[in-house]
Amino acid sequence: MNGPDFFHEDAVMSGGARIVAGVDEVGRGPLAGPVTAAAVILDPARLPEGLNDSKKLTPARRATLNAAILAVAEVSIGHASVEEIDRLNILRASHLAMERAVAGLARAPDMALIDGNMAPAGLTVPARTIVRGDALSLSIAAASIVAKICRDRVMWDLAQHWPGYGWETNVGYPCKIHRDALRDLGVTPHHRRSFKPVHNILYQDK
């Protein structure tokens, strides 16, 4: 297979669903920033060409496809904050972001196609999970692109206010620059205190 297709969407539509949303999240692994999800309802008659798992695309290609998706699809974004990540845990927070993304759609989908093997418990619409869905389903691939672009922009904006951590390029992931800045500059309000590298710095002397 060269990339995702519309097989899963066609399957649920043949079963009676009229509106199908793809849902994906980004940002489980970073030490800082929110976790972000997108829900995307594609128009089968106007599918952007070249959709793929966002991780397989260059930044320039992601930006081009994001604009193409926004031009023809219904899109909603949901975030879960650092505070919610620390309070709930990252899995539940990522599900909360997905729930918010789906709830924010102008039209409630008849089926939500969820990337992964676990559907968020708080969804108010029927859902089907697809492992590696961003590589298999065009709707989920579109959601992965939109979520990635949106979260990257959030982290770029935070980087302007909290320089030194490299968030404009590492978007909060624990690379060497970010780890060194944590050690040298300290923990910001945007760091996830429940994540071990951050927790260890906060409590290493206690």
The pLDDT assigned to 137 comes to 98
At residue 138, the pLDDT reads 98
- The model's pLDDT over 191-204, given as tens digits with 9 standing for 90+, comes to 999 999 999 998 87
Domain parsing of the chain, residue ranges: 7-152
Q: pLDDT (tens digit, 9 = 90+) per residue, 133-142?
A: 999 999 999 9
24 in a labelled binding site: yes
Instruction: Say whether 10 counts as a known binding-site residue.
Output: no
Binding residue per annotation — 205? no
For residue range 81-139, what is the model confidence (pLDDT) as tens digits?
Answer: 999 999 999 999 999 999 999 999 999 999 999 999 999 999 999 999 999 999 999 99
Cβ–Cβ < 8 Å for 20, 130: no
Q: Is residue 175 predicted with pLDDT exceeding 90?
A: yes
Q: Which CATH class is domain 7-152?
A: alpha beta
CA pair distance 111, 19, nearest whole angstrom = 7
pLDDT of residue 204: 77
Does the pLDDT of residue 60 top 90, yes or no?
yes
Categorise residue 44: left if φ over 0, alpha if ψ from -120 to 50, beta otherwise: alpha
